[in-house]
Amino acid sequence: MSLSLYVKRDKQYPGGLRFALHIPFEKWGDAPPKAKAPFATNPGMSVVTVDLGVNRLAVMGAFRDDKLLATQFIHGGELNHKRHLLLNAIYKKRGQSGRLQKDVPDNVDLWNKVRNIDENAARQVARQIVKFAIDHGAKVVVFEYLRGYRPPKERMSRSGRKNHKRAYWLRGKIVTWVRDVAFREGILTVERNPAYTSQMCPHCHMPGERTGHHFTCQNPVHSYHADADFVGMMNLYRKWNGTFVYPRKKRADEPNPAQVTA
C-alpha cells in the first residue's frame, strides 16, 4: 500500500481533470467484536481458520457449530525450492562480480523472477483460501497475527536466509490479498494472537511437543499425534471461539521437567 494520486478526465472539474489522492491507512481495534456480531444472531454460521507456514503455505479448516467440516492443505515445498534455486543463482553471480555497486540494481531479471513467483503464489493461495471460505459458507476468515520477522537461529547460507525471509514475507502478502478479495465477497478477515497455538493440544488442552512438522501431545492418557500446522489451525479456531486454554503458570516449587528426566 502506498500513497497514490489518481487523475481522471472529468468535464465537471476545472481544467477537465479530477484529482483523487488515495491515502491508505490501517484500522485497529474494533474488528473482533464486529466480526463476532453476526454470530450472536446466527450461531450456525461457519468460520474458516488458516494457519500459514513455509513448507505448507496454508492449512485451512472450516468450522460450524464448533465442528470441523473440512480441511485443505496448500503445499509450498515446490515454491520454496524454486525460489531457493533462483536466489542461489543470484548470490553466485554476486560472488563472481565482486562488490555490488551502490544504487545499481544487480541481476534484474533473476530478481524479477523471484518477485513474480512470490506475487503469483500469494494471489493463488489467497484465491484458494477465499474459495474455500465461500464453498463452506464462511463469513469470517481467521488468521494468526503475524509478528515481525525473526531470522532463523540455525546456520544457513545467504541464499537460504533470504529464502527464509521471503517465505515469511509471503505470509503477509497472502493475508493482504485475502483481506482484499474476501471483502469483496462480504467475508471479513480477522487476526488472532498466535501465542501457544503450536504448543497446546487442541483436544485435551495439555502441552505437546513439536518436532519438525509433527505434533505429539504430552498427555500420557491421550497419545495424540497430528500435523503441527493442522494443530495450529485447530487452536486458531479455539482462539476465535474463546476455548483456547493457555498453559498454566508453573508454581515456584514445581520441578523443571528437564531436571526430572535428567
| Closest CB 126 distance from Zn ion, rounded Å | 32
Strand-strand pairing, 214-217 and 225-227: antiparallel
Strand-strand pairing, 46-52 and 67-75: unpaired
Distance CA 22, CA 103 (A): 29
Alpha helices (H) along the chain: 31-41, 77-97, 108-135, 158-184, 228-241, 257-261
Between 73 and 112, how does the x/- string for binding to Zn ion read (CB under 5 A)?
----------------------------------------
**Closest CB to Zn ion among residues 91, 224:** 224
> What is the total count of residues that contact Zn ion (CB under 5 A)?
6
Contact status: 224 vs Zn ion (CB under 5 A): yes
Between 194 and 223, how does the x/- string for binding to Zn ion read (CB under 5 A)?
-------x--x------------x-x--x-
Secondary-structure breakdown of the chain: helix, strand, coil percentages, each rounded to the nearest 5 = 40, 25, 35
**Closest CB to Zn ion among residues 137, 207:** 207
CB 159 within 8 A of CB 87: yes
| Closest CB 224 distance from Zn ion, rounded Å | 4
Distance CA 158, CA 217 (A): 35
| Closest CB 248 distance from Zn ion, rounded Å | 15
CB 105 within 8 A of CB 111: yes
| Closest CB 197 distance from Zn ion, rounded Å | 14
Contact status: 245 vs Zn ion (CB under 5 A): no
How many other CB atoms sit within 10 Å of the CB of residue 204? 14
**Closest CB to Zn ion among residues 125, 200:** 200
| Closest CB 222 distance from Zn ion, rounded Å | 4
Contact partners, residue 94, CB within 8 Å, separation at least 6? 100, 106, 107
**Closest CB to Zn ion among residues 68, 204:** 204
Distance CA 209, CA 189 (A): 29
Contact status: 50 vs Zn ion (CB under 5 A): no
Between 144 and 183, how does the x/- string for binding to Zn ion read (CB under 5 A)?
----------------------------------------
Return residues touching Zn ion (CB under 5 A): 201, 204, 217, 219, 222, 224
